[in-house]
Amino acid sequence: MIVVGGGPAGASTAFGLARNGVDVLLIDRAHFPRDKPCAEYLSPEAARPLHEMGALAAIDAEGPAHLHGMRVRAPGGDVIHGEFAAAHGFHGFRDRGLALRRTVLDAILLDRARAAGAEVVEGERVESLLVDARGAACGVATVDAAGARRERRAAFVVGADGLRSIVARRAGLAHQRRWPRRVAVIAHATNVTGVGHFGEMHVERDGYAGLADVGHGVTNVAVVVPFAQAGALRGDALGFLQRWLDRRPHLAPRLRGARYAEGARVTGPFASHARRAWAPGLALVGDAADFFDPFTGEGIFAALRGGELLAPYLCHALGAANDRDADAALAAYDRARRHLFAGKWRVERLIGSAVAMPAVMNRAAAAMSARRDLADLLVGVTGDFVPPREVMRPSFIARLLVGAIARRPPVPHPIADDRLPTPP
């Protein structure tokens, strides 16, 4: 079995396969540890697959930030404050989220895959798929940093190679949605003021910003803007990020003394989606299969859970009596994946729509800033432990509408003390 990609999706898949006795080769073009543009947030429920991989203790030892919930500021100034530990009766594997650098997380997860028996090859780039007489994937063609080329063959190939997956593209499965087409610029800074135990999202009319502690005094600072602004990022991504933040009176004072240890990284455009997550001889997992928008920060959990889900279906495909049965196992994985994530996808798209329409976002924030029970439920859904159906119920929507109609005055702007206001 060949797994392409050494991030959380690839490491999770390789771990699950190797633990079940499958001969696994994981290939990544990078040398680890390597940095990667990412929100670097792990939801409370992400701790469960990490625990299953035996990675959680090592992650805790690295001193990650512990996030109690999320705060979302609407363009009008109202703040949605939701906490993971709340009175709604739902509980995650842990009652806190985690945040830490991908340089640390990915190295730990790869070590767990190795410990389970997977072979990991770094610094080798996949260029194309190898296919057999019936057109099924049967390996990959690669090139290393020295230019040496080779063909690596396997019964199945897993595309866990991210947003611009070469596996998905070569298999003809990649599809780019027209909306929302956004790009992100991400940097790490020290000396950012007012960063506490909550992840922050600041929605503006021309994009949104995210701030979150990732441990050891470092803050993940991200700005997400429409793809039309991508040209302005070329050549000076960090300057773009700083100028964008400087124009926000409620954010600029908090970042005035920030020190950026390294340059900013750009990723996107988002809203990619594979037509299906399998083809004969291959399967897709994580961002290679689907990535809508980074606002809810679900990428790492979806990658870990997706790899955990995929591994037994691949084991079944390996033991299949014929090609038809192997294809049926991969198709069953795709159905299971859609069933597992369908509710969350609907919520993500509703949130994406609200973020794109300031008037709607302001109304929703006005309602939820006055109703912590609504905010806690929504944040619990984004934390992956409250079932998405809880925020799709007519009763939830009715309470949200009533709160939006009975709009209270917005929070004064800018925020005087350089921090998000204490919720009512």
Q: Please give the distance of CA 342 from its chain centroid, rounded to a whole number.
A: 16
Q: What is the amino acid identity at position 423? A: P
Region of 69 please: left (phi>0), alpha (psi -120 to 50) or beta: left
CA neighbor of 203 nearest in space, from 331, 129, 293, 133: 293
Q: Please give the distance of CA 165 from its chain centroid, rounded to a whole number.
A: 15
Q: Tens-digit pLDDT profile for the chain (424 aa)?
A: 999 999 999 999 999 999 999 999 999 999 999 989 899 999 999 999 999 999 999 999 999 999 999 999 999 999 999 999 999 999 999 999 999 999 999 999 999 999 999 999 999 999 999 999 999 999 999 999 999 999 999 999 999 999 889 999 999 998 877 777 888 999 999 999 999 999 999 999 999 999 999 999 999 999 999 888 888 888 899 999 999 999 999 999 999 999 998 889 998 878 778 889 999 999 999 999 988 777 877 789 999 999 999 999 999 999 999 999 999 999 999 999 999 999 999 999 899 888 888 999 999 999 898 889 999 999 999 999 999 999 998 988 888 877 666 655 544 444 333 344 333 3
pLDDT at 405: 65
Q: Provide the sign of the torsion angle of the four alpha carbons 268, 274, 280, 286, taken in this order.
A: positive
Q: Could you tell me the two tokens for 3?
A: 């797994």
pLDDT at 285: 97
The DSSP secondary structure of 302-343, one letter per residue, reads HHHHHHHHHHHHHHHHHT-SSHHHHHHHHHHHHHHHHHHHHH
Contacts 24+ apart (CB under 8 A), 272-277: 272/163, 272/164, 272/174, 272/175, 272/176, 272/177, 273/175, 273/176, 273/177, 274/165, 274/168, 274/173, 274/174, 274/175, 275/173, 275/175, 276/173, 276/334, 277/173, 277/333, 277/334, 277/337
Separation of alpha carbons 85 and 60, rounded Å: 19
Q: Provide the sign of the torsion angle of the four alpha carbons 254, 260, 263, 265, taken in this order.
A: negative
Separation of alpha carbons 206 and 43, rounded Å: 27
CB-based contact 22:317 (threshold 8 Å): no
pLDDT at 407: 54
pLDDT at 422: 38
CA neighbor of 298 nearest in space, from 234, 336, 361, 344: 344
Query: Across-strand partners of 97?
Result: 67
Separation of alpha carbons 338 and 309, rounded Å: 11
Q: Work out the angle at residue 281's Cα, subtended by the Cα atoms of residues 277 and 287, and round it to the nearest 5 degrees.
A: 30
pLDDT at 22: 97
Region of 399 please: left (phi>0), alpha (psi -120 to 50) or beta: alpha
pLDDT at 167: 96
> What is the Cβ-side half-sphere exposure of residue 101, based on CA atoms within 13 angstroms?
17
CB-based contact 63:108 (threshold 8 Å): no
Residue 323: Cβ within 10 Å count: 14
pLDDT at 296: 78
pLDDT at 254: 96
Q: What is the amino acid identity at position 102? A: R
CB-based contact 4:140 (threshold 8 Å): yes
